[in-house]
A and B are shown apart, each in its own frame.
Chain A
Amino acid sequence: MSEQIREQVSAFLDGELPSTETELLLKRLTRDGELRESFGRYALIGESLRGGSHRLLTTGFASRVNLAIDGEPLPASVAVVQSHAVRWWRPFAGAAVVAGVAAVAIVAMQQRSLAPGAGTPGLGTSAEIALNAPAAVTSAAPMLAENREALSYTVPAAPASAPAAAPTGRLTNYMFAHSKYSYGLAQRGVLADLLINDDEPVGAARAQPTQVPARVAP
């Protein structure tokens, strides 16, 4: 992230970026995936820095954050200990899993629409899920590599949350069913999660588009 963009992002998050520049920043972010990821990190870090002076960062953590952004040092005033700050990094793993498996879940959801006895639904689903699974892994892999510093710092901080341990396809199905009953703002979050795509699309599934017969045609 160049200094200019960093300033723009910072101003945007503070609501101080003029609308013309906001438009430019938006265009740039839409085009540039790498910048978008940096922006995501920066936004959360920015919030954690601004969010409350009692919640600051370990110097060790701060230096890792710098590596993750672009190596620029954080202000010297930022220096305290707060394990909560580490939590910002935990979602990397979770988001990758959620994004990766939403696809799996949708394949599984289609199963509901099948007439009993139509084809071999069980076989079809399992096969597609199996094909999808590596895609979820590969989509997580680049993030892991890119943020190795941050993640390695995170893992001990969040041992209870082990998203990979659960068959997340089912969880996403639960989440989708749940979204009908959750209140507006929360529901928006759920829909957004389902809408969020993989940077690595589920190519394996595409190779088998007819494996699960669909009952309803347009």
Chain B
Amino acid sequence: MIQAFRHHARAGWLIPCAMVGAILTAVPMRAWAADDPGQWLEKMNKALANRNYDGTFFHVSGGRVETMRIVHRVRAGRVTERLQSLDGPGREFVRNNDELTCYLPDQHTVLVEPRQDRGPFLGSLPQFGADTSEFYRIEALPDARILGRTAHVIAVNPKDQYRFGYRLWLDEKTAMPLKTQLCDSHGEVLEQILFARLDMPENIADSELAPTVKTDGMRWVRQGPAHEATSSSLSALRVSELPPGFKLTVEGAQTIGDASAPASHLVYSDGLATVSVFIEEQLPAAAPGAATASDPAPAMPSDAPVQGLARVGSGYAFSTVVQGHQVTAVGEVPALTVEFIAHSVKGGAEPAHR
């Protein structure tokens, strides 16, 4: 009897304990799941790709600010979007599913180009897998108020100096990025986008997606699909060494400007940052058809080899000459990275991190 009582008492004491334990472990689990920054990035990607939105934002980069409008509509599986610069001559990009049209009124030109990627203009981030988390650390920062709304703040921090990071302010209700910053590994802001207005209407009229540019008398230029990569069109030069985490993802050929021969185009990525390496088969100076003698004012040294570092947008380009080839590495990465990659282009060797 005593024995049974004891047993019963112990069990009676254990049950609430187990329940408390279960609650204690469940609470942080649930809180973690709700605030998991990876899930929020995923929500953002979905919102950017699948929702209708019409917003005006500032693009602040390099001390300049541009006002832009984005209209994005998904209807019956078709994605149409328009990105319009509200300043100056008013360039506009319109994407209709997989065709990108660039209206450049100041150039009297309309460029039409097939785009295989169907990512939204405003962009998204790739899924964070084991590969990416090796080189980036995602963290949730304290919530903030922006545009009078509560936003989850998520930082994607690079773990070394070979890549840039992001900070994103995601609307609590819609997961739309109300503010985005591109940062270097010290956390300094290189570029940012701030929405001043963002509507997410049920329907968007066709007229909102039509370019405002008048195309009368403009030149239409249609780009063909990219060259097939054939072994003969690819350079024998290879990147012999890469910064940690970068792998070859695309290999192709591309005619650059008025070059007579296509350049090898190698794309390396760490899963988030991307660097393109262009290797031109011959130096442009030797290219037939490059006019210099009759050029009245050869102000652009377009026929001279390019060397050294240049800033391009929010990233860098580094050019060098290797065995008579023009080699340029370009990407939204620190100068260090393009320099590293361009300098490691050599003849014949296989990439170390392939």
Contacts and interface: CB of A to CB of B under 8 A. Distances in A.
B157 interface: no
Contacts of A19: 147-148, 197
B313 A106 contact: no
Mostly helix, strand, loop or mixed at chain A's interface? Answer: helix
B283 interface: no
Interface string A66-81: 0000000000000000
A153 interface: no
Size class of the contact patch on chain B: 35 or more
Contacts of A12: 194, 196
Given A169-B302, A173-B257, A182-B274, A199 B108 contact: no
Given A18-B148, A121-B258, A187-B123, A110 B219 contact: yes
Contact of B60 (A40, A130, A169): A40
Given A33-B87, A44-B63, A190 B297 contact: no
Interface stretch (B26-34, B284-292, B345-353): B284-292
B20 interface: no
A122 to B, nearest CB: 4
Contact of A171 (B296, B297, B330): B330
B258 A111 contact: yes
B332 A172 contact: no
A161 B64 CA distance: 18
Contacts of B311: 90-91, 93-94, 97-98, 161, 163
B261 interface: no
B8 interface: no
Interface string B70-99: 000000000000010111111111000000
Contact of A133 (B83, B254, B299): B299
A77 to B, nearest CB: 19
B309 A161 contact: yes
A193 B60 CA distance: 11
Interface in A179-217: 180-199, 201-202, 205-206, 209, 212, 214-217
Interface string B308-349: 111111111101000000001011100100000000000000
A22 B331 contact: no
Interface residues of A, number: 109
Interface stretch (B9-17, B133-141, B178-186, B229-237): B178-186
B265 interface: yes
A109 B121 CA distance: 21
A177 B123 contact: no
Contacts of A180: 115-117, 226
A206 B294 contact: no
Contact of B91 (A15, A98, A134, A197): A197
Contact of B313 (A127, A129, A169, A189): A189
A109 B257 contact: yes
Interface string B113-154: 001110111111110000000000000000011111001000
A19 B249 CA distance: 43
Contacts of B284: 170
Interface in A103-152: 103-113, 120-123, 125-127, 129-130, 132-134
Contacts of A107: 107
Contact of B257 (A112, A182, A189, A190): A112
B123 to A, nearest CB: 3
A183 B104 contact: no
Interface string A17-51: 01100110110011001001101110110011001
A39 B188 contact: no
Nearest to B106: A201
Contacts of A6: none
Given A15-B178, A91-B311, A103-B106, 14 more contacts: A19-B147, A37-B65, A43-B192, A84-B188, A105-B257, A110-B111, A123-B291, A133-B299, A160-B308, A166-B307, A174-B276, A181-B117, A197-B88, A214-B219
16 contacts: A26-B197, A88-B63, A95-B64, A113-B221, A161-B310, A161-B316, A167-B304, A171-B319, A175-B313, A180-B116, A183-B126, A192-B59, A195-B68, A195-B92, A199-B88, A201-B88
Interface of A: 12-13, 15-16, 18-19, 22-23, 25-26, 29-30, 33, 36-37, 39-41, 43-44, 47-48, 51-52, 55, 84, 87-95, 97-99, 103-113, 120-123, 125-127, 129-130, 132-134, 160-163, 165-175, 177-178, 180-199, 201-202, 205-206, 209, 212, 214-218
Interface of B: 45, 48, 56, 58-68, 83, 85-93, 102, 104, 106-112, 115-117, 119-126, 144-148, 151, 166, 169, 178-182, 186-189, 191-194, 196-197, 215, 217, 219-224, 226, 249-250, 254-258, 265, 267, 269, 272-274, 276, 278, 284, 289-292, 294-302, 304, 306-317, 319, 328, 330-332, 335
